[in-house]
Amino acid sequence: MKLLLLMRNLMYLRNYEGLVRELAARGHRVTIGYEDARDKAPPEIKEAADRLAADCPTIELTGVPARADAWSVLAHQARVLRDYTRYQHPRYAAATRCAERAASLVHPTLRRLAFRGGRRSPERAERLAELAHRVEAALPEDPAVAAVIERDRPDLLLVTPLIDFGSTQVDYLKAAARRGIPTGLLVASWDNLTNKGLIPVLPDRVFVWNADQAEETASLHGVPRERVVVTGAQLFDDWFGRRPSQDRAAFCRDVGLDPGKPVVLYTCSSIFISRLESEFLVRWLGALRSSPDPLLREAGVLIRPHPGSTKRAAQWNDPRIAAFGRVVVRPASGGYPVTDENRRFYFDSIFHAAAVVGINTSAMLEAAIVGRPCFTIRDAETEQAQDGMLHFAYLTRYGFVRPAPDMAAHLAQLAAALRDGPDDPERAGSVEAFLRPQGLRRPATPILADAIEAMAGLQPQGLGLPETGAGLRAVLWPLARLFRLLSAQRTGKKWLREHPLLQRLRRLLSTAEADYSGNLWYRLRRVRRRGARLAAILLRLPAELLRHRSLRAAKQAAVAKTAGPQQRGGRPGA
């Protein structure tokens, strides 16, 4: 088969390099298309991409465009609005940070019109989601996206992660389905289905890790259960059966810790989960070093920053951390486990630790595979990073992490673990259920490859979009231009902000907001009554913008023509 695998960026090679190699080994041709520019990827990710292309001649890596046509801003706003609506459901009452992140992407005018007066109910959110879904159905095909599908003509299109807020990957799914190409979604991680956006359209297959994700796919995203395939977490196949690259004494010497003392590995969370984790670490280290238990006071501490927190790597230079002694931060930045060296160090860090501590991170799953106990504290400082994230419940439910209600209880748990060592007879069962539901000894990568091959010849089963009349797109066209202008207003160009037509447009929108009567549909009718005025403004704007550009070009030409030779960089008399 010829497969097109679309990734938001090359970072997802960490999740799917093994799968791509497996498919290539089976004789399939795989094109990996990534939306974000390659130069944005960390060095170790680019190294992994180069190695993959060099090792496998049937694998191609290429950049692909995201939607950027005249409809792109309206498409994005409709999608992020629908994503935002999920956080109006009572199940997300504690997910304040997730809701704020989603809300920040919705244009303020749209957000105020949609939720004026703080009226946020599941019923209202459902109506808004339905409206946004109808807009999605009416959007025309993006020519640049269609050109990629036409050029590659794959037998199968796979995408990951798709659940980003306002994901542009939906345009590729729609273009493939329109051409009779079956589609599949690869759910990249254990938190993807709960703390990000909604699956925007229905792929023909959704590949998930376990039964919990299968239930989430159906109940939270509306995907028919028959389209969901449970394959296991192929991401962690390399961890099963792996052995350390060096003994404990050598490892401790390499990182600068005393091999005669137990080592506690602190694994940091992503920036979104814990924005300035060094502050929590200072509090935790202070409690550790002031403990009456000498085992805790003298334990070595290895801090592993999250590899995605490079922008805030300066926090690890905090002199308060080094002042505690017997504390090492490594690697200070980067460290994605996609190269042999990074994989070895990450595995050795967990293997040679007596215990692992953190707030909410995938490292707790990897520690469970290795057989190291994980501990955390659930208090006011960590509440949003734990109870505010639905996926954290899996860590506690399966016993991957042992929470304590306060620092004193946490230190007691940690001291017991350092003395008694890992002893959890139920750990293997939990690892099997969550990461390898097809059998603890069965790698997930071949199972996933088998499921992908089974899609050969599958007829597309429909994207689940509502039927829309031909007139809806015509009605949306002025809105598409409106949202492009609203987006342009935020670029900071003074002449654009002060243009008379845009000032009239702002007054029109302000009046529409003021007409709020507690009923969304009433507001939409009022806006429709102003449709002629709105359309007149939008139809005149392109000509006004061209006129402004022409005047500016003529002014620059006149200045250049009348400028003296010295102003142009020449010499007098030359």
Q: 394-438 pLDDT, tens per residue?
A: 999 999 999 999 999 999 999 999 998 776 667 889 999 999 999
Taking CA atoms, 416 is separated from 395, 396, 410, 419, 533, in Å, by 20, 19, 10, 5, 73
Q: Which residue has the higher pLDDT, 483 or 214?
A: 214
- Check residue 492 and give its pLDDT: 47
Q: Give the pLDDT band of residue 572 (cuts 50, 70, 90).
A: very low
Q: Which residue has the higher pLDDT, 498 or 207?
A: 207
- Check residue 574 and give its pLDDT: 36
- Check residue 517 and give its pLDDT: 41
- pTM for the predicted model, two decimal places: 0.85
Instruction: Give me the percent of the chain exceeding a pLDDT of 70.
Output: 84
Q: Give the pLDDT band of residue 530 (cuts 50, 70, 90).
A: low
The residues that bridge with 327 in the sheet, in sequence order, are 301
Range from 101-105, 122-126, 515-519 carrying the lowest mean pLDDT = 515-519
Question: Residue 330: what are its φ and ψ, rounded to 5°?
Answer: -160, 135
Angle between helices 427-435 and 363-370 (to 10 degrees): 130
Q: Give the residue from 138, 233, 145, 155 showing the smallest Cα distance to 189.
A: 233
pLDDT digits (tens, 9 = 90+) for 36-71: 888 888 999 999 999 999 999 999 999 999 999 999
Tell whether the model's pLDDT for residue 512 goes beyond 70: no
The residues that bridge with 65 in the sheet, in sequence order, are none
Tell whether the model's pLDDT for residue 230 goes beyond 50: yes
Instruction: Give me the percent of the chain exceeding a pLDDT of 90.
Output: 69
Find where tokens 């009567």 sit: 517
Tell whether the model's pLDDT for residue 569 goes beyond 70: no
Contacts of 339 (CB under 8 A, 6+ apart): 44, 47, 48
- Check residue 544 and give its pLDDT: 58
Q: Give the pLDDT band of residue 538 (cuts 50, 70, 90).
A: low
Cα angle: 338, vertex 440, 192; to 5 degrees: 50
Under 8 Å between Cβ of 76 and 166: yes
